[in-house]
Amino acid sequence: MKDWDLVYKNWDKNMLPNTLLTRFFHLAPKGRALDIACGVGQNSLFLAQKGFIVECFDKSKEAIKLVPKHPLIFPKVSDSKKFEFGKYELIVCVNFLDRDLFKKIISSLTFQGVLIMELFNSKINPAYCVDKGELCRAFGELEILYYEALDHKSKLVAKKHY
C-alpha cells in the first residue's frame, strides 16, 4: 500500500482540474460540494472559483497541506470510512475507489444533486478498479447523464431526482 504522505511530500501542486468535472459541473445547482479523496485540491479550487462551498478530504495530511487556501474550501484530513458526509448539490470522486461509500454518496446527494465520478477500470491493481458497467449498476437509481468506459477509465455523471 502506498504511503500517500510520501507521495505528496514533493508534489507539484500546479495540477489542472479534472476534465469531466470542468465539462459537467454546471449541471449541479449551486451550493455545497464534496471532493472525495481530494489530493492537492485542484478540483476543490475549481469548484470554489465557480461559487460552490467545498468540503474536501484526503487521508494524507501532506496532500491537505497543499490544498489551496480559499474562503469557500474546507479541507480535512480523514479516512473515507470516518468522514462524516453531509448533504451536497455536487459530489466529485476521481481516482479513488471505496465501494462501501456508494450508498452513502447516493444518500448524501440533495434533490437534483449531481455525482461526477472517474475511476480506473484496468491497468492497475484490480482492488482499485471498477468493472466496466459497474458504476451504472451501482448508481442506477440516479439518472445517468453521461457514461463512458474507455481502456483504463470509467466515467459517470448522474443526477438525483428524489
Is 140 inside any structural domain? yes
Instruction: Decide if 92 is inside a domain.
Output: yes
Report, as an integer, the average pLDDT of 96-112.
97
pLDDT in tens, 111-129: 999 999 999 987 667 777 9
Q: Domain residues for 72?
A: 33-159
Domain contains 3: no
The predicted pLDDT at position 126 comes to 72
* Domain assignment of residue 106, yes or no: yes
Q: In the chain, pLDDT over 90 holds for what percent of residues?
A: 81
Q: Are 39 and 8 in contact (CB under 8 A)?
A: yes
Q: Which helix (H) or strand (E) holds 45?
A: helix 42-49
Whether residue 49 lies inside any domain: the answer is: yes
Whether residue 16 lies inside any domain: the answer is: no
pTM for this entry: 0.91
Average confidence (pLDDT) over 25-54:
97
What is the mean predicted confidence (pLDDT) over 28-42? 97
Domain membership of residue 14 (yes or no) is no
Beta bridge partners of 54: 33, 73
CATH code of the domain covering residue 134: 3.40.50.150
- The reported pLDDT for the residue numbered 150 is 86
pLDDT at 1: 45
Domain assignment present for residue 59? The answer is yes
Nearest residue to 153 (alpha-carbon basis) of 125, 127, 131, 138: 131
Residue 35: per-residue pLDDT:
98
Number of domains in the chain: 1
Contact 45, 22 (CB under 8 A): no
How far apart CA 100 and CA 32 sit, in angstroms, is: 22
